[in-house]
Amino acid sequence: MRERDLPDSDVFDPAEAGLDLDAELEAELGDASDAGDPADDPVGDRPSGRHRPVPVLAQGDGWLVVAKPPLVIVHRNARMRHVSAVLQRVRDQVGGRVYLAHRLDRGTSGCLLLATRRELAGPLSLAIAGGTARKTYLAFVRGYFAEEGPVEVDSPINYYELGTKEASSTVERLGASHEPRCSLLRVRPHTGRHHQVRRHVRDLDHPIIGDSDHGDSRINREWRGRGSRRLGLHCIRLELTLPDGSALDVRCPLFEDQQALFQSLPFWEEARQREPDLDLPALSWDWVGPVE
């Protein structure tokens, strides 16, 4: 079925459903303005009539978890009206509308939870925002991260018009090197603030490589020369209790660009030992771009 044969997929509106969610969560679900660094490879957002389907990691009655490719927005917005976003790709795969339960930034890859029935979008959003849900990220950052044990970060985040919000994350080193000066971190946010992982590692003076909002532009340019052309952030695992009471535990492999980069770094073997999911077979870069 061609894209124009179906209406655009919906972005779940919590207020319309009568749900009183945190203001940041509402903003996060409805805001796809993060178009990324203009220096990023634009292949994922190329306005093409045909794209490869999105890898499905798990699915059940009324929901599915997909592997969001990097450099692809989750849904269209005023600046990018005609690109093939994740929602449009998945909609065409399943032959019907799909709804975001949360979102990932354009440059971020990894686990993305969607509802395939509108009445489940609200409960899934609440489940992923709840205290029992856990998202695990891999953050590729600037500098040598010296701490051996877990580091708790509780610096609040200022959203200007929304005020300051409490936020907490646990950061652990998977590997680090002095040459090149970089580290791979495992980050588990305990609150669901917008850009929380990106801001908290920046607060530790280890901004994510490729982060044009909170990072180091000079370092970003250097790493583009090394072949790292996107945000170094990947949601590798998603755990939560589904609305029916069952447990969901999904892992997303790295895409092959990041796996190849990490394998070339001195700390790869150390990181593999600390995070066994790094050994999952990598997802092809072909998932990112259009069918030629």
In a shared domain, residues 10 and 113: yes
Phi, psi of 129 (to 5 degrees): -90, -5
What is the predicted pLDDT for the residue at 260? 95
- Terminal CA-to-CA distance of the chain, rounded, Å? 18
In a shared domain, residues 10 and 47: yes
**Count of the separate structural domains present in the chain:** 2
What is the predicted pLDDT for the residue at 214? 87
Tell me the per-residue pLDDT of 216-274, one tens digit each, with 9 for 90 and over.
Answer: 899 999 999 888 889 999 999 999 999 999 999 999 999 999 999 999 999 999 999 99
Q: Which two tokens stand for residue 168?
A: 């907490």
| Helices and strands of the chain, counted as H and E runs | 7, 12
Tell me the per-residue pLDDT of 96-120, one tens digit each, with 9 for 90 and over.
Answer: 999 999 989 999 999 999 999 999 9
Of the candidates 139, 148, 189, the residue with the CA atom closest to the CA atom of residue 28: 189
What is the predicted pLDDT for the residue at 235? 97
Q: Which residue has the tokens 């044009």?
A: 212
In a shared domain, residues 80 and 211: no
Tell me which of 37, 40, 45, 105 is the catalytic residue: 105
Tell me, yes or no, if 105 is annotated catalytic: yes
What's the whole-model pTM score? 0.83
In a shared domain, residues 148 and 269: yes
Tell me the per-residue pLDDT of 142-159, one tens digit each, with 9 for 90 and over.
Answer: 999 999 999 999 998 887
Cα-based angle 13, 288, 248 (whole degrees, multiple of 5)? 55
Q: Which two tokens stand for residue 186?
A: 């495992």
In a shared domain, residues 116 and 66: yes
Task: Tell me what percent of the residues of the chain surpass a pLDDT of 90.
Answer: 60
CA distance 264 to 262: 5
In a shared domain, residues 39 and 170: no
As a whole number, the mean pLDDT across the chain is 82
Tell me the per-residue pLDDT of 161-171, one tens digit each, with 9 for 90 and over.
Answer: 778 889 899 99
